[in-house]
């Protein structure tokens, strides 16, 4: 087997380090390692014996949900990293010799395309970066679009002992299941029978709650895998009478993710001393959209400042508006594109995403702009009607405006989950950047109270006030970047502060310039501790700056 690097425990520890797995991902991998030690994986293995062994080791485990193979669900909150865990599962099973063949099932086109990209070498979010077993011989990725042209590569991988990952969309199987069961000249059988005949096929179901009831899932289980692994943030069936999964072996919820700092902190915002009943529904909608823009522009400024101060990549935020239906969405887009809405600034910066009839060109443009949301900054507002579900894993959504939604609708992982991912993969200690702000003037108190109820997806919902003296100003701000007098004295650049009555100060010696540069760096580093520039005149602040400058100037590394 290619890439075998020691005992299963050594492999597990190596993957945790190489893939930078978070605590819940590491715990999930530990459980998989334990399960593969407990079970004999194979077509002839006893399902009853497997269930008995797992229940003995994991007393809370229910059953395999009626499947003829061991089926385990790992329920991880949105934003924790299910796709990376999927990659870790594949790498562990391959390197330890448990399996070379994998069948990954996606619930929709969005997740399908994302999985194909994330499993393909050279892409931005390639999940196997750093995994030495796949550096020289990356897995062969067979997709629902290429399977009938990929069998020659599959055969080559089989001969070389390489890994093969099949990625399919459940909807495509529902529609085109017949094709995959037709004879294929390269394998001498149908591709479906070829997969079903593999002695080590592992089925991985991403966001399985979305398709458990679909006929395509039965077709996939007919492949008779030796092991099934489900990944979801919502381990229950879809519909009014939702039923919890019985095969959950590990759960890490949104509250725990927030506590560990793996996701943004959700907050609900309103105006200070505002009574939503004092205005008409139309005016309330206008106010929520306007305050959504205030929140959006506030975080945009904070992101610019943070990137400037730290040298980290600039993140371009966008705002999500949740409409009731396509007519509602069209009307809202018209309002945002009018000259009366913030001077027409957002006219060409808004897109509408729904199932309404659009020309192919319009649909292609929307898709293209959605794909570029994280990178080009041309789209700052997205209006959608229940179209952006699991798999839409952008990191630059900071403001959500749910129009006419109930508190229960707001407090769901489906609503909040779209904006929980952190742009830098960790919290920055800048409140606006580490926060997901939900504009809910009409549901403000209700959301706060409902968040405290047992079973809520969040333990608490922070309150944010928009307006004068609040957390978010109701007036626009601009980041002005001009060198200070101190920087001008150091670099010779023109200062952003005009003072014609005073000659510019110039440091005379290199030693003076060096100390001044260190002082300026210390002041920049302490910037967020100051309320105003006047704080620099306070003796205790000056003493703190002087102590830090002296410590840096005397450090051996600086004088070496």
Half-sphere exposure of 273 (CA within 13 A, CB side): 3
**H or E element that contains 520:** helix 510-525
**Are 294 and 437 in contact, with CB atoms under 8 Å apart?**
no
Query: Which tens digits make up the pLDDT trace of 489-548?
Result: 555 554 444 444 444 455 566 777 777 777 877 776 676 566 555 677 788 888 888 888
The pLDDT, as a whole number, for residue 39 is: 94
Assess whether 225 and 283 both reside in one domain: no
**213 and 318 fall within a common domain:** no
In a domain, 477, yes or no: no
Domain count, the chain: 3
Which two three-digit tokens encode residue 101? 């063949």
Res. 291 pLDDT band, cuts 50 70 90 = very high
Q: Which of 8-22, 135-149, 318-332, 443-457 has the lowest mean pLDDT?
A: 443-457
Task: Specify if 156 maps to a domain.
Answer: yes
| Beta-strand pair 202-206/248-252 | unpaired
pLDDT over 90 (residue 347) = yes
Q: What is the mean pLDDT of residues 286-314?
A: 94
pLDDT digits (tens, 9 = 90+) for 61-111: 999 998 999 999 999 998 899 999 999 999 999 999 999 999 999 988 878
Q: Are 201 and 223 in contact (CB under 8 A)?
A: yes
Q: Which of 165, 44, 50 is nearest to 116 (CA)?
A: 165
**Structural domain contains residue 479:** no
pLDDT tens, 242-283?
788 999 999 999 889 999 999 999 999 988 888 888 999 999
Regarding whether 273 and 248 lie in a shared domain, the answer is: no
Residues 57 and 187 reside in one and the same domain? yes
Looking up residue 69, the CATH number of its domain turns out to be 3.40.50.300
- The predicted pLDDT at position 480 comes to 47
Q: Give the least confident one: 91-95, 120-124, 147-151, 359-363.
A: 359-363
Compute the residue count for the chain.
Answer: 560
Grade residue 46 by pLDDT with cuts at 50, 70 and 90. Answer: very high
Does residue 1 lie within any of the structural domains? no
Q: What percentage of the chain exceeds 90 in pLDDT?
A: 45
Q: Domain ends where: 252, 281, 302?
A: 252
Are residues 102 and 42 both part of a single domain?
A: yes
Q: 189 and 118, same structural domain?
A: yes
With beta carbons less than 8 A apart as the criterion, state whether 397 and 418 touch. yes
The predicted pLDDT at position 531 comes to 56
Residue 478 belongs to some domain of the structure: no
Q: Residue 311: is its pLDDT beyond 70?
A: yes
Q: Mean pLDDT over residues 382-402, rounded?
A: 79
Please tell me whether residues 490 and 444 are part of one structural domain. no
Asked if residue 196 belongs to a domain, the reply is yes
pLDDT in tens, 469-489: 888 887 755 554 444 544 555
Residue 475 lies in a domain: no
Q: Which domain holds residue 133?
A: 8-252
């Amino acid at each position: 087997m290619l890439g075998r690097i020691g005992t299963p425990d050594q492999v597990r520890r190596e993957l945790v380090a190489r893939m930078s797995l978070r605590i819940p991902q590491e715990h999930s991998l530990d459980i998989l390692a334990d399960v593969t030690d407990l079970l004999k994986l194979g077509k002839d293995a006893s399902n009853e014996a497997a269930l008995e062994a797992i229940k003995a080791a994991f007393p809370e485990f229910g059953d395999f949900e009626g499947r003829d193979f061991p089926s385990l669900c790992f329920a991880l909150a949105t934003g924790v990293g299910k796709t990376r865990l999927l990659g870790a599962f594949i790498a562990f099973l391959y390197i330890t010799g448990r399996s070379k063949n994998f069948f990954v099932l996606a619930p929709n086109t969005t997740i399908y395309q994302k999985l194909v990209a994330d499993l393909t070498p050279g892409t931005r979010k390639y999940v196997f970066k750093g995994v030495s077993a796949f550096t020289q011989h990356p897995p062969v990725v067979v997709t629902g679009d290429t399977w009938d042209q990929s069998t020659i590569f599959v055969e080559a991988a089989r001969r070389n002992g390489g890994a093969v990952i099949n990625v399919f969309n459940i909807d495509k199987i529902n529609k085109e299941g017949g094709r995959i069961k037709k004879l294929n000249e390269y394998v001498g059988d149908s591709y479906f029978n070829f997969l079903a005949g593999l002695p080590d096929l592992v089925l991985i179901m991403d966001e399985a709650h979305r398709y458990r009831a679909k006929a395509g899932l039965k077709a996939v289980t007919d492949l008779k895998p030796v092991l099934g692994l489900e990944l979801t943030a919502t381990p229950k069936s879809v519909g009014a009478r939702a039923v919890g999964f019985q095969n959950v072996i590990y759960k890490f919820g949104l509250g725990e993710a927030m506590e560990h700092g793996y996701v943004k902190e959700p907050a609900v915002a309103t105006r200070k001393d505002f009574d939503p009943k004092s205005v008409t529904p139309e005016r309330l909608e206008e106010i929520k959209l306007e305050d959504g823009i205030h929140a959006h522009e506030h975080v945009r400024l904070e992101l610019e400042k943070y990137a400037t101060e730290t040298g980290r990549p600039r993140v371009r935020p966008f705002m999500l508006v949740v409409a009731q239906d396509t007519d509602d969405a069209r009307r809202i887009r018209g309002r945002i594109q009018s000259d009366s809405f913030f001077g027409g600034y957002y006219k060409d910066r808004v897109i509408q995403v729904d199932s309404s009839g659009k020309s192919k060109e319009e649909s292609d443009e929307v898709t293209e702009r959605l794909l570029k949301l994280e990178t080009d900054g041309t789209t700052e507002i997205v209006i959608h009607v229940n179209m952006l579900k699991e798999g839409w894993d952008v990191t630059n959504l900071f403001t959500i405006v749910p129009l006419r939604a109930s508190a229960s609708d707001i407090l769901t992982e489906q609503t909040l989950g779209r904006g929980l991912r952190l742009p830098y993969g960790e919290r920055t200690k800048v409140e606006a950047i580490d926060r997901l702000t939900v504009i809910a003037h009409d549901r403000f108190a209700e959301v706060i109270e409902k968040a405290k109820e047992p079973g809520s997806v969040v333990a608490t919902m922070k309150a944010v006030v928009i307006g004068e003296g609040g957390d978010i100003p109701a007036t626009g701000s601009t980041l002005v970047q001009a060198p200070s007098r101190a920087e001008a004295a150091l670099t010779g650049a023109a200062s952003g502060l005009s003072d014609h009555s005073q000659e510019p100060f110039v440091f005379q010696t290199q030693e003076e310039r060096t100390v001044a540069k260190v002082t300026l760096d210390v002041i920049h580093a302490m910037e967020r501790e100051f309320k105003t520039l006047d704080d620099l005149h306070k003796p205790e602040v000056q003493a703190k700056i002087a102590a830090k400058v002296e410590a840096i100037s005397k450090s051996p590394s600086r004088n070496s």
